[in-house]
Structure 1
Amino acid sequence: MLNSTKTLRPSRSGLAVIASVATLGTIAALAGCAPGGGDSDTVTITLSGPNQFTSDTKTFGPAWDELISNFEKDNPDIKVKTNVLPLSSWSQTSAAQLTAGTAPELIFNQTTHAPDQVVSLDEALAEPNEFSDTGKPWIEDFNSKYFGGEDRLGQNTAGHYESIPFNLVSVGIYFNKDILDDAGVDVDDLATFDGFLDACGQITDAGYIPLATDNGNLPVGWASTALSSMLLVPETEAVNQFGADGEAGTSSPVTVKSVAHGYLTDEINMSEDPGFAAVLESLKTLYDECATPNWSGISSEGAFTGGTDFPGNKAAMAWGTNFASTQLSTVDFEYGTIPFPTLTKSDSDQATGEPAQFGVNNGGTAYMIPAYIKGEQLDAAITFLQYVSSPKVQTWLDETGGIPAVSALTAPPGLEAMNDGAWATLSLGGQNGGLWRGPKAVSAENTRTGYLLGTTSLEDELIKLNDNAVAWAKEQAVEAKWTEDWAQ
């Protein structure tokens, strides 16, 4: 059943909109290994990562500033600085700083890294959170569907917890109801893939962009995840051979080890399996019929795909996370969200007719600590991670559209299409690429650009992507120090 909302959330005065992020500060300013100047009894730590929330060039916006202010009042011996990194380059910058030993105390957990480059939080999570009143180990305060639990969700390939989720994330397709009405499109028409494509034609004829899209890896990655949940089910089930503990078994979602094993044993070969071709073909159809015509020339900036076209009332739809709702606090059009449309046999022979899945996941705002952070800086960083995973952050979640990772907190209203039904259920492939993987060197790229633009053949694209996945699998085997023969 299609889920939509007339208005996702009420306007909130004082909240900045989400748009492009700051220019990169100097690397020297990010070195956070020593306490800041001033009061010798005060420890200063720095948090550095991409801006998921606002257009502020110095912080993550008023709600974040208030959270930091409250933290410092409750912890007068700790000061927290925020360094905003551009969405277009944060990954490369943060990874380079981590390798060079210049990254600050807290860095975004999607930074490319090896397990031994960051602090294991296992011991801290085994003790109660000082800002929680449950009295239980910190790990048990989290919703076990998304972090911790029997499947040890959130652990790295070495079997350790290395980051703490401040919130959970889901994505969906936002729609502008006024534009749909002008184009003669009913929201229910968007429930199936062929209906979605037909609607894109009507929207184009009405003079609007159907689906705001840019050249980043997010719109192609999110669409691939949705398509794979419907077209790669047998392949994903076949490679599910290792549990969360790294031993023989299964896990949902599939583990990194299972996927890497599939590629290193040639159980998965994209160029030989029709499911992978079906995903790419459907993806290209989506881009050809619905994407912004010049999407390959649009940089990835802001909370919505395609830049400002959707909040600027130029595009009927755009991909966005639950955080993106804050960018719409002042728009004068009605909007809502829908899941990705369902594929049927008429769309692809590989389709099962089951609806797309994406899932609420702990891949939202989450931070980790570089392994070289020690002493007072380490203690202060852990204290901050405890604070932002406690009841202290309910107001911040409400004001930023955050879905809580902690069981005791509640999600803000208006996110039902992202937080309910099949779409909100994590697929077996998960959100972190599923069977589509690539080595560190291309982790921030849209590796499907050539095929989507028609300059690379389907056959060549599948060969290239399979080579990327094998290279990724080899990296995982080395970093995780797997000892099995197939991993050598």
Structure 2
Amino acid sequence: MNRTTGRRLTAAALAVLAVVTGTSACSTGTGDTSAQAAGGGTYTIWDPYPQFAKDSAWAKLLDDCGTKAGVKIKRTAFDTSDLTNKALLAAQQGNSPDVLIVDNPVVSTLAEAGVLTTTDENKLDTSKVSPNLLAAGESGGKTYGTPIGANTLALYYNKEVLKDAGVDVASIKDWKSLTAALAKAEKAGKKGITFSAVGTEEGSFQFLPWFWGSGAKLTALDSPEATAALKLWTDWLKKGYAPNSVINNTQTTSWQEFASGDYAFAENGTWQLANAEKAGFDYGVLPIPASTGGSAAAPTGGEFVTLPVQGETGRYATSQKLVSCLTSTENLYATDTTLSYVAPTAEVQDKQVTADPKLKPWVEAVSAAKGRTSDDLGTKYPKISEQMWKAVQSALSGSKSPKDALAEAQTAVK
């Protein structure tokens, strides 16, 4: 039996669940919610991929890794937000799965609640993982799990729109040159840029590249740099370079606007690559520029493979074998291609770019990316994020100036 010790969860862990799981979009799935192993030779794995059926390559990989480790796999797939709640409840009841694959911002929540083991305890090797990606799974100086892959944000652009507007994409290196390109697109009778500024974590997720690209820090929402980032967005709306619909846009509806063929740019992620190929026009991808040049740090999406705390600590050795198999060089390449993820190691990233040169700008964007809970923010991030998206909404709607909206946000955080 997979018996774990019951544990009391912190109030903070329970309070942040609805906030930190807002950016992942998966179809709803159902499954057996029991984490109890069917027998001594059975290990349980929970994942956030209900879109992958039992006969999928993903499910087959889990079974193959189980076979190599000499055990049977009992897999349960949940929607992302449901998975986090189930993981916390299972830990409280003493029914944690052996392996838990979870959205990276949730790792610190589960870690601080005492749900997860550290890599020192479970002996996972993370030496090949890019440090900026691994940071999303760090809390209190310890590392919990390893990333299975990453996605992030960049700027898709319509080559035909830019050509008609007389814009050379190579000239776009900072905010000033990007804004100039938007002005030219608008003057040519097209539209500038679309993005998501909806009042949820999705809005914060999309604002963060501009926020971090200004040099701002999440511990000071009201800094001059942060104000400059929000002013950039509000100015775009006032000048007609971005539509008013961004206030309610999700990343999906924002993409639909770009797919109309009228926009020069759209801020979106690697998960739209398949749709980009179907858009019917030639597109390119550009890392989001920082205010004075270079690539801005965009937030990382993607999941971590973790090992929850078990009462029977002898199970960790086999669980570690399972995770090592799932995140091996060979399996990462196949899995991350399926998930439209950039791999977390340079070795597999190189392999991905060799196979598909269109992934090069995404690898560059992921290399500059940053975890939302990095800088040891942990469970502080959800509250900061909520105040951030509220400030963005207030400023874009015109109810407050960027400076006043962010000052109010910082006060609320404190």
- Using structure 1 for the length normalisation, give the TM-score: 0.62
Note closer, same or farther for the CA distance 1:378–1:182 as it changes in structure 2 (3 Å cut): farther
Query: Aligned pair 1:367/2:305, yes or no?
Result: yes
Change (3 A) 1:162 1:284: same
CA change 1:433–1:362 in 2 (3 A) is closer
Q: Secondary structure at the match of 2:250?
A: coil
Please point out which of 36, 56, 62 is paired with 1:65. 56
Q: Within 1, Cα distance between the matches of 2:72 and 2:316?
A: 12
Pick from 281, 285, 288: which aligns with 2:235? 285
Aligned mate of 1:78, from 72, 75, 78: 72
Counterpart AA for 1:81:
R
Unaligned runs of 5+ in 2: 1-23
3-state SS of 1:68 partner: helix
For 1:139, what is the secondary structure of its paired residue?
coil
**361-370 or 291-300, which moves further after superposition?**
361-370
Query: Structure 1, residues 245-275: CA drift from partner, whole Å, max 9, x if none?
Result: xxxxxxxxxxxxxx7xxx6xxxx5x54x433
3-state SS of paired residue (2:73): strand
**Offset of 1:171 from its aligned partner?**
2.7
Between Structure 1 and Structure 2, how many residues are aligned? Answer: 367
Map of 1:465 onto structure 2: 409
Structure 2 partner of 1:298: 249
- Aligned: 1:432 with 2:376: no
More helix by share: 2
Match of 1:319 among 267, 291, 295: 267
Match of residue 194, structure 1, among 170, 176, 179? 176
CA 400–331 in structure 1, closer or farther in 2 if over 3 Å, else same: farther
Q: How far apart are 1:326 and its partner, in Å?
A: 3.4
Q: 1:206 aligns with which of 173, 176, 189?
A: 189
2:103 to 108, 131, 135: 108
What is the letter of the counterpart of residue 83 of structure 1?
A: A
2:224 to 265, 268, 274: 274
Q: Within 1, Cα distance between the matches of 2:76 and 2:270?
A: 22
Equivalent position to 2:26, from 21, 25, 32: 21
Counterpart residue type for residue 244 of structure 2: P
For 2:144 and 2:43, locate their aligned partners in 1 and report how far apart those are by CA, in whole Å: 21
Alpha-carbon shift at residue 177 of structure 1 (Å): 1.4
Note if contact 1:436-1:469 (Cα within 8 Å) is conserved in structure 2.
no
Residue 373 of structure 1 and its aligned partner are, at CA, apart by 7.8
Please say if residues 451 and 461 of structure 1, whose CA atoms lie closer than 8 Å, have aligned partners that are also in contact.
Answer: yes
Query: In the alignment, what sits opposite 1:118?
Result: 115
- Equivalent residue letter for 1:297: N
Matching residue of 2:36:
34
Name 2:326's counterpart in structure 1.
388
Provide the C-alpha distance between the structure 2 equivalents of 1:78 and 1:278, rounded to a whole number of angstroms.
Answer: 54
Give the match's secondary structure for 1:357. Answer: coil
* Same amino acid, percent of matched pairs: 13
Cα deviations by residue, 1:128-171 (Å, 9 ceiling, x for unpaired):
xxxxxxxxxx233x2354467xxxx4553333221211124443
Does 2:151 align with 1:178? no
8 Å Cα contact 2:395/2:405 also seen in 1: yes
1:69 deviates by 0.8
* CA gap 1:363/1:211 in 2 versus in 1, 3 angstroms: closer
Aligned partner of 1:97 in structure 2 is 86
* Structure 1 runs not aligned, ≥5 long: 1-18, 52-57, 128-137, 237-258, 344-352, 471-488
Q: In angstroms, what is the RMSD of aligned CA positions?
A: 4.0
Asked if 1 retains the 8 angstrom alpha-carbon contact of 2:191 and 2:242, the reply is: no
2:126 aligned partner: 139
Offset from partner CA, 1:282-330 (integer Å, 9 cap, x none): 23224544434312233344xxx71433345454322233343233344
Q: Is the contact between residue 45 and residue 79 of structure 1 (CA under 8 Å) also seen in structure 2?
A: yes
**In 2, are the aligned partners of 1:43 and 1:78 still within 8 Å (CA)?**
yes
Alpha-carbon distance in 2 for matches of 1:440, 1:192: 29
AA of the residue aligned to 1:221: F
Structure 1 residue 110: deviation in Å? 1.8
Question: 1:328 matched to which residue of 2?
Answer: 276
SS in 2 for 1:191: coil
Q: Give a deviation string over 1:337-362, Cα, whole Å, max 9, x none.
A: 1122453xxxxxxxxx3434316x87
Aligned partners of 2:140 and 2:194: how far apart in 1? 40
Alpha carbons of 1:113 and 1:145: their partners in 2 closer, same or farther (altered >3 Å)? closer
| CA displacement 1:364-404 (0-9 Å, x = unmatched) | 33233444686798666544322221023222334544332
Aligned-partner SS, 1:167:
coil
Q: Is the 8 A contact 2:196 2:246 kept in 1?
A: yes
Q: Secondary structure at the match of 2:267?
A: strand
For residue 355 of structure 1, what is the aligned residue in structure 2? Answer: 294
> CA 1:194–1:155 in structure 2 vs 1: closer, same or farther (change >3 Å)?
closer
Q: 2:141 aligns with which of 159, 167, 170?
A: 159
CA distance in 1, matches of 2:213, 2:193: 23
